[in-house]
């Protein structure tokens, strides 16, 4: 499983790169806003173009950097995607363009602009990361229309199920992969019982038909969810930096370090000069 950093924060991206665990980055307009606000907060001038340039350079040729469009119609998205691709793919040939699977904001609107854009861009050879995927059906459509990556939003499905149950929760709270029951009934979103279950179902469909699109488990909120999507054999997990840092910690590891340090005899320390 590849690990991408789900962040537009260059400091975080550089650290993850230093840890040697990260082969890509996924951004979205909210993550870019967070990074820009942080820079402004520090009184720094923001040059978003050179900032993204540095992200692409940091990740390098063997990685992947997802950049998202902002228009809601296919023509606009394709234009923006071509612009982003022209501008940033030349840096390290690692750019993928994030296109929402659908850009409609309610039920009675046009739903296919995202798919049209994915299809047009894929035919032009521009790699697409289909984003905001909330169902296996959307994932199938994204892959069929040519997306290179398909990003199911695991955490947001957990949020949705919890919200419908009227549950209070914090963003990082664990939600059981096997779902939760209310009055004995397993709660679901049209048959999907958790974000991890969404990823599982997409992988099952893709494997059944040997679909080549790579699944990026996205909207991950805690390390246990990362473990669960890893157990499913997902291709990529895009992980917020704070969760990458959580993944390393265990009290018995801390304790072990203390004990080993206490037990170093002078003869052994002498080896190191």
Residue 225 in the binding site for ligand E4P (CB under 6 A): no
Q: Does 7 bind ligand E4P (CB under 6 A)?
A: no
Span near ligand E4P by CB under 6 A; candidates 88-96, 112-120, 150-158, 264-272:
150-158
| Residue 98 a catalytic site member | yes
Quote the least distance from Cβ 153 to ligand E4P, whole Å. 5
Binding to ligand E4P (CB under 6 A): which residues in 129-148? 131
**Closer by beta carbon to ligand E4P, 131 or else 138:** 131
Q: Which of 238, 194, 197 is nearest to 216 (CA)?
A: 238
28 lies in the binding site for ligand E4P (CB under 6 A):
yes
What is the rounded CA–CA span in Å between residue 77 and residue 147? 14
Subset of 204-223 contacting ligand E4P (CB under 6 A): 218-219
Q: Write out the two tokens for 264.
A: 């170093």
* Binders of ligand E4P in range 71-100 (CB under 6 A): none
Binding mask 233-272 for ligand E4P (x = CB under 6 A): -----x----------------------------------
Residue number, 133 or 251, with CB nearest to ligand E4P? 133
- Provide the token pair at 248: 């390393």
- Residue in 33, 57, 98, 163 annotated catalytic: 98
Give Cα 242 to chain centroid, integer Å: 13
Long-range contacts for 120-127 (Cβ within 8 Å, ≥24 apart)?
Answer: 120/74, 120/78, 121/78, 121/81, 121/82, 121/97, 121/146, 122/146, 122/147, 122/148, 124/82, 126/81, 126/82, 126/85, 126/97, 127/95, 127/96, 127/97
> CA 28 to CA 69: how far, in whole Å?
8
**Class of residue 9 by CB neighbours under 10 A (exposed 0-12, middle 13-18, buried 19+):** buried
Whichever of 163 and 182 has its CB closer to ligand E4P, that residue is 163
Residues known to be catalytic: 98
User: Contact residues for ligand E4P (CB under 6 A)?
Assistant: 6, 26, 28, 131, 151, 153, 155-156, 218-219, 238
């Amino acid at each position: 499983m590849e690990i991408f950093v789900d962040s537009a924060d260059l400091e975080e991206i550089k650290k993850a790169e230093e840890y040697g665990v990260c082969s890509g980055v996924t951004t979205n307009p909210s993550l870019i806003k967070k990074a820009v606000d942080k820079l402004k907060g520090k009184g720094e001038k923001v040059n978003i173009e050179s900032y993204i340039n540095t992200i692409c350079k940091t990740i390098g040729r063997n990685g992947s950097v997802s950049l998202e469009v902002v228009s809601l119609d296919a023509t606009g998205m394709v234009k923006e995607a071509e612009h982003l691709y022209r501008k940033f793919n030349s840096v390290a040939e690692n750019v993928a363009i994030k296109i929402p699977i659908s850009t409609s904001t309610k039920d009675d609107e046009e739903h296919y602009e995202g798919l049209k854009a994915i299809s047009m861009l894929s035919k032009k050879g521009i790699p697409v990361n289909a984003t905001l995927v909330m169902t296996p059906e959307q994932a199938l459509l994204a892959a069929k229309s040519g997306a290179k990556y398909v990003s199911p939003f695991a955490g947001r499905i957990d949020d949705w199920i919890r919200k419908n149950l009227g549950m209070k929760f914090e963003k990082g709270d664990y939600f059981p992969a096997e779902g939760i029951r209310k009055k004995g009934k397993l709660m679901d979103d049209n048959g999907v019982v958790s974000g991890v279950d969404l990823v599982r179902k997409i992988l099952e469909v893709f494997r059944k038909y040997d679909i080549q699109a790579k699944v990026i488990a996205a909207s991950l909120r805690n390390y246990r969810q990362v473990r669960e999507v890893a157990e499913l054999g997902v291709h990529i997990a895009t992980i917020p930096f704070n969760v990458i840092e959580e993944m390393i910690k265990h009290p018995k590891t801390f304790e072990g370090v203390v004990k080993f340090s206490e037990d170093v005899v002078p003869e052994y320390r002498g080896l190191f000069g």
